[in-house]
Each structure stands twice: as C-alpha cells, then as structure tokens.
Amino acid sequence: MNVKRVLIVCKGNICRSPTAAVVLETKARAIGLNIVVDSAGVENYHVGDAPDKRSIRHAAKRGYDLSKKRARQINKEDFEKFDLIWAADHENIGDLRTLCPDIYHSKISLFLGNKPLPDPYYGEAEDFEHVLNLVEQRVEILIKSTEWMN
C-alpha cells in the first residue's frame, strides 16, 4: 500500500492542527498504519513557535507529546505533496481554497467530516479538553474505517 500523506490545517498551527496531527499519528502508529501526518496554519502568526502551552499540557495528560511540533504556514508545495488536507473549520477551508490550485481542491475537507473543530485559543481548560475529546473520537472513527486510506 502507498503511504498516505495527511496535512491537518488550522489558523495558526498552535492548538487544533498540531493536536489532531499528533493524535492521528500516535494512534495510527499504534496499529501499524503507514501514514505521514503533518500540520500547518493558514496564517503566519506563530511560525517557528511551539504549540500553545495549554495544548501541550492537556495533550500530555493523555499521553500525546506535542512539545516537538513547531508552527509553520501552509505553502503551495503542500497542495501537491499531501494526499488529504483536513481543515479545522469552514474559514480554514475558504482560505485553503483561495491558496490552492484548482486541480487540488478535491483534497480539501473538514477534519471532523461535517462540523468544525472549535478553536480553544481564547477559551478555558475545558475548551482544550473538548477539542481533545472531539479529535480522539474522530481519529477512532478514521482508524476503524480506513476507507480514506484508499
């Protein structure tokens, strides 16, 4: 089977997308799925920064290590390089479609499938926990149904 390359994108690449990428990568590795997962932001606010400390802390409580991730902005090469580009919310999808060559638009969809992943950045601890819950639930569904891998 070919290696599937997945890019998860949010606004600044410090909360939602690194969390989702690390959870997906961790769970996929645990069952031997052959995928490459990365994350990026549509904006350049935090390029080079570690994920938000709250994201790191809440993820660590569940056994996920976000500490090595560094924020980066999506670039034109990503649209060709990745097989699937999953956006955190509808605003991210709009930004991605603006940046993306038409030929690759079919690669872009919402990470949660049919609803946005809320941004916890201006929230409280429970908002970061909620994001982790949603991400873990979605990843469990993805892992069980490898249809997206084909």
For the segment 92-102, the average pLDDT, to the nearest whole number, is 97
**List 54, 78, 119, 138, catalytic entry:** 119
Distances (CA, A) of 21 to 49, 71, 81, 98: 16, 12, 16, 23
Rounded to whole angstroms, the Cα distance separating 99 from 34 reads 28
Say what the pLDDT of residue 147 is: 72
For residue 128, count CB atoms less than 10 angstroms from its CB and return exposed for 0-12, middle for 13-18, buried for 19 or more: buried
In the set 16, 54, 72, 138, the catalytic residue is: 16
Give pLDDT tens digits for 105-117. 999 999 999 999 9
User: Taking residues 57-71, what's their average pLDDT?
Assistant: 98
For residue 1, what pLDDT band results from cuts at 50, 70 and 90?
A: very low
Rounded to two decimals, the pTM is 0.95
Catalytic, 100? Answer no
Q: Looking at residue 2, what is its pLDDT?
A: 67
Whose tokens are 């089977």? That residue is 1
- Within the chain, strands assigned E span 4-10, 35-41, 84-87, 108-110
Enumerate residues 6+ apart whose C-beta is below 8 A from 79. 85, 99, 100, 101, 104, 107
Domain 4-149 in CATH 3.40.50.2300: yes
Domain ranges of the chain: 4-149
Across the chain, mean pLDDT equals 95
Sign of the Cα torsion 111, 41, 51, 30 reads positive
Residue 148 pLDDT level (bands cut at 50, 70, 90): confident
Q: Is 52 a catalytic residue?
A: no
Q: What percent of the chain has pLDDT above 70?
A: 96
What per-residue confidence (pLDDT) applies to 81?
Answer: 97
User: Is 2:33 a contact under the CB 8 Å cutoff?
Assistant: no
10 catalytic, yes or no? yes
Does position 90 have pLDDT exceeding 60, yes or no?
yes
pLDDT score recorded for residue 85: 98
Distance CA 108, CA 122 (A): 26
